[in-house]
Amino acid sequence: MCGIVGYIGKRKAAPILIQGLKKLEYRGYDSFGIATLGNPIEIYKHEGKISEHAGSASTLNGTTGIGHTRWATHGVPNDTNAHPHTDCSGRLAVVHNGIIENYAELKRQLMSRGHKFRSETDTEVIVHLLEEKYQGDLLAAMHATLPQLQGSYAILALAAGENRIIAARQASPLVIGRGDGEFFAASDMTPVLEHTERALFLEDGDVADLSLQNVTIYHGGQPVERKTELIDWSFEDTKKGGFPHYMLKEIYEQPQAFYNTVKACPPEILASMIKKPSQVTLVACGSSYHAGMIFRYLLEETCKVPARLEFASEFKYFPPPVNGLVIGITQSGETADTLSALKQAKSHNCWTLAITNVLGSTVSRVADDTVYMRAGPEIGVAATKSFTSQLAILMQMVTCLSDRKVCDLLLHGHRAIEEVLLKDLAPAVDLCRKASSIFFVGRGPFYPVSLEGALKMKEISYIHAEGYAAGEIKHGPFALLSPETPVIAICMPDETYGVMLSNIKEMKARGAPVIALGLEGDSELTDIVDMFIPLPKTHKFLQILTSLVVLQLLAYHTAVTLGRDVDKPRNLAKSVTVE
C-alpha cells in the first residue's frame, strides 16, 4: 500500500509534500517521511501520523522533493523503516509503493558487496542498486536498476546535484500532474487536484523524468507519449467541508453520488457492455465483495441469470471453471487480488469488465472494459459512498438484463437514502457501544447487507461483529448469545418475513437484545424487538440502500462514541495493493 508524492517547481517543496501526503494517508498512516533536494539531500521521517509532526517536516529547504506515507509490510512502523531511504553515501533518496519480491536475495548480494543497510524494508535495496549504477545521471541509473527488480513498484528518486525526479511504475499506481512551471507525481490525483486538473497516468514499465521544464516518459528505454487528461474531481471534494470526519461527509454525499452514478451509467450504455451473458462471475474483496453478493441475489431473482461470486484472493490460485462475463468490482481500481483475478479470467478467454471509482486506475488497463462510478473521491478508509455507487451500477445492470422492470426506480433512489440520513440512532448506539460482540442478520440480499453492516462496525469501532444469514445463526453462534451480544436484524416484509420473526424470537429467548430494521408501521415486528428502526416503505432495491445507510451511521456513531479514529482505523488502508 503506501502513498507517494513528488514535487518539482519554484515553490518550497516541503509544505506541498506534507499537504499531499495528508491526502494520501488513507493508503497508509503508520509513519511518513519526505526528502528535499538540497546539497546534500535533506530528510525528515517519523513514526506516526503526519498531522502530529507536520510542523518540523515543513521546515526542510528545497523546491524539489519526494514524500511517502507508509502501511508497513517489511519491518515494523518506526522512524528507521519510514521512507525515504538513502544509499550509503546519502546522495540518493527513494520512496516506493509496492513490494520488491526478490529483495532478500538482492539485499544479500548488496551486503556482500559492502552496502550498509539501515532498515528492514524491501525498498532499501532499490536505492543501493541505484547507487551502484549511478554515474551522475539518475535516469540512466534507474534504467539500469529496474531490470533487477521483481514485484510491484511506484518509485520516486532524487539525486543530490540533479534537479529532477525520476519516477518508475510497475503494477503500482503513479500519476503525473502538469502544473504551470511545476510538476507533481503521486499515487493518485487527490494530492494533485489542489494544484492542477491536468494529469497523465503512467503505464506499467514507464519511467518518467520530471524536470523544471518538462516531463519525458520512456518505455523500454525509448521516449513515448502519454495522453494528458482532464480530471473531473474537484479539490473541494477532497476537503471535509465542515464535517467532523470524511466518513460522515461521505455518508451524507450518498444521495448525490448515487444519483450521479445512475445518471452516468444508463441501462443502454451498460447493456452494450455486458450484452446478454449466459453466466456472470464476480470477483472482488471487502465491501466490493458484499456489493457483488447483493448483485448476485438481485440478478438471479430478477433476471434468472446464474451468477457466481468469488473472493478475488482465492480466484487467482483456485480458479473455478469460468466462461462468459467476469466482473471485477474495486472502488480503488488497485486491489492486487482483484487485478490478479481479472488477469486470470482473461487468460481463460473471459470477457472482463471493471467497476471502479478511480479514473486511470490500474484495473482500467487490465479489464477489457471499464464502468466508472463517478462517486467522487472517497477519503475515509471505510467504503461508504463508493459502496452505494457500486450498487447503483450493479442495480442498473439488473435493470437492463430484466428488460428495464426497475428502471425509473433507481432515479429516485437518492430520495430514499436522504430520508434515512437524519435517523436518531442514539439508543441503538448506546446498546452497541457496550457490546462485546454484535451479530448482524438478514436473509436474501439482506444477508450481504448484514455482512457489510458487521464489516463497517468492526473496522471502525473495533467491536467484534459478524454478519450471518439469519437461518444459519442457530448453527453455532447461538452459543455466544447473551445480553452483551446485541443482534441487529434486518427484517423486511418479503417471503422470509415469517421465518425472520421466528429467528428473532429464538435469539431473544437466548437473552440477546434485538434491534430490528424494518418498514415503518410494522407493529408486529416492533412488538417483539427491543428497538425498532423504521425505514421508508419502498421497493426492495431501495430497502437495501436505506438499510445499508442506517448500518453505516450506526457503525459511525458507535465508533465516534468510543473515541475511535474513524477515518483512519488501526492497521487498515483503503487501497490494498499487496496480496
Measured from the CB atom, is 381 or 535 closer to ligand G6P? Answer: 381
The least CB distance from residue 282 to ligand G6P, in Å, is 12
Measured from the CB atom, is 77 or 471 closer to ligand G6P? Answer: 77
Measured from the CB atom, is 94 or 285 closer to ligand G6P? Answer: 285
Mark whether 574 is an active-site residue: yes
- Regarding beta strands 42-47 and 64-70, do their DSSP bridges make them parallel or antiparallel, or are they unpaired? unpaired
Cell numbers for 17: 509534500
Q: What residues contact residue 190 under an 8 Å CB cut-off, 6+ apart?
A: 23, 24, 233, 238, 377, 379
The least CB distance from residue 285 to ligand G6P, in Å, is 4
The least CB distance from residue 18 to ligand G6P, in Å, is 24
The least CB distance from residue 247 to ligand G6P, in Å, is 11
Distance, CA of 223 to chain centre: 32
Output phi, psi for 381, to 5 deg.
Answer: -65, -40
256 burial level (CB within 10 Å; 0-12, 13-18, 19+): middle
Q: Which residue's C-beta sits nearest to ligand G6P? A: 286
Distance, CA of 173 to chain centre: 13
Q: How far apart are CA 572 and CA 568, in angstroms?
A: 7
The H helix count followed by the E strand count for the chain is 20, 25
Measured from the CB atom, is 262 or 383 closer to ligand G6P? Answer: 383
Which helix or strand (DSSP H or E) is residue 388 part of? helix 385-401
Measured from the CB atom, is 91 or 574 closer to ligand G6P? Answer: 574
Q: Do the beta carbons of residue 28 and residue 3 sit within 8 Å?
A: yes
Q: How far apart are CA 345 and CA 436, in angstroms?
A: 41
Q: Do the beta carbons of residue 60 and residue 54 sit within 8 Å?
A: no
144 burial level (CB within 10 Å; 0-12, 13-18, 19+): middle
Measured from the CB atom, is 217 or 451 closer to ligand G6P? Answer: 451
Give the three-state DSSP class for 486: coil
Per-residue DSSP letter, 171: B
**Which residue in 90, 87, 124 sits closest to 104, CA to CA?**
124
Please identify which of the residues 2, 265, 303, 491 carries the catalytic annotation. Answer: 2
The least CB distance from residue 369 to ligand G6P, in Å, is 17
The least CB distance from residue 214 to ligand G6P, in Å, is 33
481 burial level (CB within 10 Å; 0-12, 13-18, 19+): buried
The least CB distance from residue 241 to ligand G6P, in Å, is 21
Measured from the CB atom, is 124 or 378 closer to ligand G6P? Answer: 378
Which helix or strand (DSSP H or E) is residue 428 part of? helix 426-433
How open is the CA angle 110-111-115, to the nearest 5 degrees?
80
Give the three-state DSSP class for 368: coil
Measured from the CB atom, is 187 or 287 closer to ligand G6P? Answer: 287
Which helix or strand (DSSP H or E) is residue 40 part of? none
Mark whether 407 is an active-site residue: no
The least CB distance from residue 25 to ligand G6P, in Å, is 13
The residue ranges that bind ligand G6P (CB under 6 A) are 285-288, 330-332, 335, 338, 381-383, 572, 574, 576
Measured from the CB atom, is 71 or 439 closer to ligand G6P? Answer: 71
Q: How far apart are CA 545 and CA 412, in angstroms?
A: 12
The least CB distance from residue 379 to ligand G6P, in Å, is 12
Q: What residues contact residue 318 under an 8 Å CB cut-off, 6+ apart?
A: none
Cell numbers for 445: 440480499
Q: How far apart are CA 380 and CA 371, in angstroms?
A: 22
Please identify which of the residues 249, 316, 540, 574 carries the catalytic annotation. Answer: 574
What residues are labeled active site?
A: 2, 574
